[in-house]
Structure 1
Amino acid sequence: MSAQPVKQQQSLKPFLALWVGQVFSLLGSQLVQFALIWWLTQQTGSATVLAVASIVGLVPQVVLGPFVGPLVDRWNRKWTMILADTVVALATLVLAILFWVGQADIWHVYVILFVRALGSTFHNPAMTASTSLMVPQEHLTRVQGLNQMLNGGLNIISAPLGALLLQLLPLQGVLMIDMVTAAVAITTVLLIRVPQPRHEAGATGSAVGQYWHDLRAGFRYVLGWRGLLILMGMATLINLVLSPSTSFIPLLVTEHFQGTAWHLGAMEAALGIGVLVGGVLLGAWGGFKNRIYTSLVGLIGLGFSVLFLGLVPVSLFPLAVLAMGLMGLMSSITNGPIMAVLQAAVAPSMQGRVFTLLSSAAMAMMPLGLAVAGPLADVIGVRTWFLIGGLLTLALGIGGQFIPALVNLEKDRDDHLEREPPMAQITQMESSSQSV
């Protein structure tokens, strides 16, 4: 078979259609998240209630994520995304009705936040794993640049847009907007073809036996690949030290800069703008040929910007805003290529398991990091925690360039990638079953 048909089968158009649908879905989700958290704040004014809401949103991905991965790899990914979005939309509709009839309670919101997080636990790895079969490898980094740009843009507009909508509509009205955006996303997925990977040979017998075989295979796959294991270890360590830094920004503003809500808003806006600019830069540039080097350079820049923020004197607040913008930009440069590396290097039939394992390990560090950093920062000061986090991140970015197993991660893919049919064959096999 000639190379030309393969190129045609790998057209970006189906993926871009899928991506646009997800833009609407993510916007609706962030509006709902903002509206529900604001409602909890107004109803209770309790930090404990908000903490429980955050934990409820983390539990599915942290606890259930590793067990969801084998299902995402085994199930049809197109219908996994559709089912996840549909369940989330129906749950949101139930909550909207409860608010409409005046029967909504705090525990109802907790349940819906859990269901929404559970849907994301299935949807996100299915979407990410599908990307590598829908996008030519040379464009994976640019696609991740688009994702970073989207995240930055949503961070900038979702909160003020949510606040505006709450002024114009009752809470159930905001929830119904999410129903509309979910319908757009579901319709988009229905109208495109999402290729499936070839499944590895597995255990025979019951579905339960097959599931546990797939789960063990996922763990063996990660543990047997030193470069991948190092990458996951670095991601969890960075999340451990940097996730508390984000939570400490309000304290840095009030305690060090003696600032107000306006100062905090300026720093948060700078972070979102930085993520957006970084996504645009990554999408236009595409990064170095070895994508790991792009992420490591971004990691060095991220460590420098966190360190810079911790060193800014009280009289130079504009430099703190600049540091936050650099943090956002460098986070895009760091995170985008990492996802592209994993999409290019990890066997497509293993990507659901690998992505959920990585995500679960990294997100599990958030509450652990806060538990450690909170009391420690009370003793050594918030600024000192930024200095520690910046230095450690900087050290990981520099040291990572001297670890052959890490920098050669993509080159080593042939030792770990399962034998699979060519991309054209995958697409052709799915064309009859995936078209609608």
Structure 2
Amino acid sequence: MFTIDRSHPSWKYPFAIIWIGQACSLFGSGLAGFVIVWWLTAATGSATVLAMATLATLLPGILIGPLAGVLIDRWDRRMVIMVADLTGACGAALLAWLFWIDALAIWHVYLIMTLRSLAGAFHWPAMQASISLMAPERHLARIGGLNQMLQGATSIAAPPLGALLIAVWPLHALMLIDVITALIAVVGVGLVRFPCVPRRVSAVDGKQEGVMAGILVGLRYIWGWSGLMIVMGMAALINLLLTPAFSLLPILITKHFNGGALQLAWMNAAHGAGIVAGGLAIGVWGGFKRRMHTVIFGMIWLGISILVIGVAPAAAFLPALVAVVVVGVMSPVVNAPLMAIVQATVDPTMQGRVFAALGSVSMAMSPLGLLIAGPVADTFGVQIWYVLGGGVCLLMTLIVAVVPAVRDLEDYRGDLPGVSSIARS
């Protein structure tokens, strides 16, 4: 087993083992997700079924977030990540078996997607909270950029590869790819010993806090940190506005730009390529010395490019296409350094709770935005979502630049009064 020590130059080698395994798992999950959506579409042709499947993916993670966060901060994060990956592998294996015996029903899909969502509610916060213990602080933004690049590459490569493989392989074989890649991720994490995570004990009686007390402590920690609260509010608002905007991209293409499937494909490819380019740029560059300056730079261009999409006339498809590329590029430029700031400033014993809360709040905005997207677009036109999204991004840029609690967030080290930390054995 390899031991990772972020103070030693060799930290990157065991970390690379973990990262490569997680990259394989992410790609396998993307491929499996495409297969499941294709099967639901082919088997039912029902928009309601697809919407329910989306809810099964989102709601468990939203609802379980506060509990998951406090448990991540109490448990061995390495084991949490491994169990979450194994749970995903078991779900994929069950789907593969049901495909093989031709017994898959819609409710099976809902149940397994719910199970995988619950696993994801533990996996993402545990991984984000662990990165800050494994990598030097100066490299956190670079790692975030590489993670964003990986997500963009998966969004580009998984759907066409899945469509190709569906034509030549049986569905159960495709689901087994997800099983294998998840097991690769488990092995990668299992080969590396994580640094010890301190655990919180009461300064009064020396006992570890209970689960409910831990949830309340986490909520008070976030609520009492105005800069962090504003950042979470910004993330929620961006998701509320931009999820509907880009979910309605097919309507924008067909009804405004008078395009078809080819133009939509170009838009999707441009967005994914932009994310890959932006993630790679941050992975190599790392951003400005002041991470918040990188965030401000990215938000300015993100807001401008989204506005361009919203105000582009029907004949200006090419400028809108370029703007979509810029949106993709700037997404990692904003997200990677912002996540690095949270990783560097939040107390290590609280990061599970903070990242779980951030994920839950952000995800909760997506179904809410989608719920109101249709009526608003039918009344005011689909471009209104892009105009609102771009305008709000620029307004939030101003808030980040002038509000000290946000602008100087990276200079603060959040500590939790009234408790002490001892090393976890």
1:46 matched residue in structure 2: 46
User: Is the aligned partner of 1:80 residue 2:44?
Assistant: no
Q: 1:224–1:156: structure 2 CA closer, same or farther, 3 Å change rule?
A: same
User: Is the aligned partner of 1:182 residue 2:178?
Assistant: no
User: Is the aligned partner of 1:341 residue 2:338?
Assistant: no
Mean Cα displacement is larger for which, 108-117 or 50-59?
108-117
Q: Is the 8 A contact 2:6 2:135 kept in 1?
A: no
Aligned residue for 1:29, secondary structure, equals: helix
Deviations 1:64-123 (CA, angstroms, capped at 9, x unpaired)? 111110001100011111111112211221221111111111111111111111111111
Q: Is the 8 A contact 2:273 2:325 kept in 1?
A: yes
Q: Is the 8 A contact 1:88 1:116 kept in 2?
A: yes
Please report how far the alpha carbon of residue 371 of structure 1 lies from its aligned counterpart in structure 2 after TM superposition.
2.0
Distance 2:113 2:310 in 1: 34
Please report how far the alpha carbon of residue 384 of structure 1 lies from its aligned counterpart in structure 2 after TM superposition.
2.2
Mean Cα displacement is larger for which, 190-199 or 322-331?
190-199
Q: Give the AA of the match of 1:321.
A: L
Please report how far the alpha carbon of residue 158 of structure 1 lies from its aligned counterpart in structure 2 after TM superposition.
0.8
1:396 matched residue in structure 2: 396
Equivalent residue runs for 1:56-75 within 5 Å: 56-75=56-75
Normalised TM-score (structure 1): 0.92
Please report how far the alpha carbon of residue 420 of structure 1 lies from its aligned counterpart in structure 2 after TM superposition.
5.8
2:237 matched residue in structure 1: 237
Distance 2:38 2:309 in 1: 29
User: Is the aligned partner of 1:111 residue 2:111?
Assistant: yes
Please report how far the alpha carbon of residue 14 of structure 1 lies from its aligned counterpart in structure 2 after TM superposition.
1.9
Distance 1:6 1:123 in 2: 21
Distance 2:133 2:260 in 1: 48
Q: Give the AA of the match of 1:380.
A: F
Q: Is the 8 A contact 2:377 2:384 kept in 1?
A: yes
Q: Give the AA of the match of 1:211.
A: V
Q: 1:6–1:158: structure 2 CA closer, same or farther, 3 Å change rule?
A: closer
Q: Is the 8 A contact 2:81 2:122 kept in 1?
A: yes
1:295 matched residue in structure 2: 295
Distance 1:258 1:264 in 2: 11
Q: Is the 8 A contact 2:201 2:421 kept in 1?
A: no
Q: Give the AA of the match of 1:369.
A: G
2:265 matched residue in structure 1: 265
1:279 matched residue in structure 2: 279
Gaps of 5+ in 1: 431-436
Aligned residue for 2:197, secondary structure, equals: coil
User: Is the aligned partner of 1:375 residue 2:375?
Assistant: yes
1:434 matched residue in structure 2: none
Q: Give the AA of the match of 1:396.
A: M
Please report how far the alpha carbon of residue 385 of structure 1 lies from its aligned counterpart in structure 2 after TM superposition.
2.2
Deviations 1:272-328 (CA, angstroms, capped at 9, x unpaired)? 000000011111211122212211221111111110111222112121211111110
Q: Is the 8 A contact 1:275 1:330 kept in 2?
A: yes
Normalised TM-score (structure 2): 0.94
Distance 2:375 2:11 in 1: 52
User: Is the aligned partner of 1:137 residue 2:123?
Assistant: no
Distance 1:385 1:100 in 2: 43
Q: 1:201–1:9: structure 2 CA closer, same or farther, 3 Å change rule?
A: farther
1:166 matched residue in structure 2: 166
Distance 2:8 2:286 in 1: 21
User: Is the aligned partner of 1:413 residue 2:413?
Assistant: yes
2:251 matched residue in structure 1: 251
Q: Give the AA of the match of 1:370.
A: L
Q: Is the 8 A contact 1:10 1:136 kept in 2?
A: no
Q: Is the 8 A contact 1:300 1:398 kept in 2?
A: no
Please report how far the alpha carbon of residue 6 of structure 1 lies from its aligned counterpart in structure 2 after TM superposition.
6.8
Please report how far the alpha carbon of residue 205 of structure 1 lies from its aligned counterpart in structure 2 after TM superposition.
11
Q: 1:205–1:105: structure 2 CA closer, same or farther, 3 Å change rule?
A: farther
Distance 1:18 1:221 in 2: 30
Gaps of 5+ in 2: none
Q: Is the 8 A contact 1:306 1:389 kept in 2?
A: yes
Distance 2:414 2:97 in 1: 52
Deviations 1:133-181 (CA, angstroms, capped at 9, x unpaired)? 0000000011111111111111110110111111111111110111110
Please report how far the alpha carbon of residue 398 of structure 1 lies from its aligned counterpart in structure 2 after TM superposition.
2.3
Distance 1:125 1:75 in 2: 12
Q: Is the 8 A contact 2:6 2:133 kept in 1?
A: no
Number of aligned pairs? 419
Q: Give the AA of the match of 1:191.
A: L
Mean Cα displacement is larger for which, 309-318 or 261-270?
309-318
Q: Is the 8 A contact 2:243 2:369 kept in 1?
A: yes
Please report how far the alpha carbon of residue 414 of structure 1 lies from its aligned counterpart in structure 2 after TM superposition.
5.4
Q: Give the AA of the match of 1:134.
A: M
Instruction: Note the aligned Cα RMSD (angstroms).
Output: 2.0
Aligned residue for 1:7, secondary structure, equals: coil
1:225 matched residue in structure 2: 225
Q: Is the 8 A contact 2:238 2:393 kept in 1?
A: yes
Q: 1:6–1:160: structure 2 CA closer, same or farther, 3 Å change rule?
A: closer
Q: Give the AA of the match of 2:267.
A: M
Q: Is the 8 A contact 1:77 1:196 kept in 2?
A: no
What's the % identity of the aligned pairs?
44
Q: Is the 8 A contact 1:204 1:210 kept in 2?
A: no
Please report how far the alpha carbon of residue 12 of structure 1 lies from its aligned counterpart in structure 2 after TM superposition.
2.0
User: Is the aligned partner of 1:317 residue 2:317?
Assistant: yes
Distance 1:277 1:416 in 2: 38
Q: Is the 8 A contact 1:148 1:275 kept in 2?
A: yes
Q: Is the 8 A contact 1:10 1:134 kept in 2?
A: no
1:31 matched residue in structure 2: 31
Aligned residue for 1:199, secondary structure, equals: strand
Equivalent residue runs for 1:83-98 within 5 Å: 83-98=83-98
Distance 2:125 2:87 in 1: 16
Q: Give the AA of the match of 1:75.
A: W
Q: Is the 8 A contact 2:303 2:389 kept in 1?
A: yes
Q: Give the AA of the match of 2:20.
A: V
Please report how far the alpha carbon of residue 221 of structure 1 lies from its aligned counterpart in structure 2 after TM superposition.
0.7
